[in-house]
Amino acid sequence: MSQFNQRTRFIFDDFPVRGLHVQLQEVWQHIVSRKHYPIAIRRALGELLAAGGLLSSNLKLDGTLIVQVQGQGVLKMLVVEATSADTVRATARWDESVHVADDADLSTLLGDNSVFVLTVQPKDGEPWQGVVPLEGGSIASMLMHYMARSEQLQTHIALAADDSSVGGLLLQKLPEQELNPAAWEHITTLAETLTANELLHLDAQNVLYRLFHETPPRVFDAENLEFACTCSRGKVSDMLLMLGGEEVGAAVAEEGSITVDCDFCNEQYTFDETDVNALFGMDIVAAVKNKIN
């Protein structure tokens, strides 16, 4: 795995502050190759992907962190899923009939009444979810508002995305420890000098030296992140069963088959009449046709 698909943890011994750096290249290029995203939406999705890579480092259980931005404008949803197995996937939904300007900002894309949703889904257990109104005109500012509301922890986040790479940097006060306000201001002031180009194209070692060479943090071994999609024909079968035989049978009776696309990897799962009859354990298509006639 490339050094440019990694998450790196670090901590300051002189201050109660922890940090994370993430950079994804091949993973991001794989995601954007599956669907033609408008530039402004691609940029927002890339920033959220970097954020998901950062925030999922806090997963203490076997499961998935789902980070969503939901809107009512041309952009309907950004979704990033990051797992405790160090895999990620991401997708966006938008009104494809509307032209999206390359420089459109996030607030304009989402429209009014947009929300940020963070869900922790344990592999075995009940999910936990937090929902807050969107505050801020960028993914980074939105997340910092969320951290201030939900965790009451001072947090600084920087995110960047272009066609080939996404990057992120997170600094956060350690819980239940006193932090001198001047020390926090000093660290975040240094972090704010980091440019988007540096975040996208410098590895963790160079970023941290560039910012904090006078008070260098202790850096831990990097963790590799990979793209992985959890879709499967079996999961689509379960979804069709939940829809019910009458609805699925009617669709196949009319079209000859039913195809379900995965939003994340663009994989297509097609079920014809034989497949659907086997799935429901009866000639459901014929039953629907007879009912119609």
**How far apart (Å, rounded) are the C-alpha atoms in residues 129 and 121?**
9
pTM here is 0.88
Coil, helix or strand at residue 258: strand
Name the token pair of 122: 């344990």
Rounded Cα distance, 25 and 3, in Å: 9
pLDDT of residue 292: 64
pLDDT score recorded for residue 1: 44
Give the DSSP per-residue string, 28-45. Answer: HHHHHHTS---HHHHHHH
Q: Print burial letters for 88-120: b (CB count within 10 Å at least 16), e (below 16).
A: bbbbbebeeeeebeeebebbbbbeeebebbbbb
pLDDT value of position 2: 56
Which tokens sit at 126? 């009940």
CA separation (Å) from 178 to 147, 154, 157, 173?
Answer: 18, 11, 20, 9
Three-state DSSP class for residue 123: coil
Low-confidence ranges of the chain (pLDDT < 50): 1
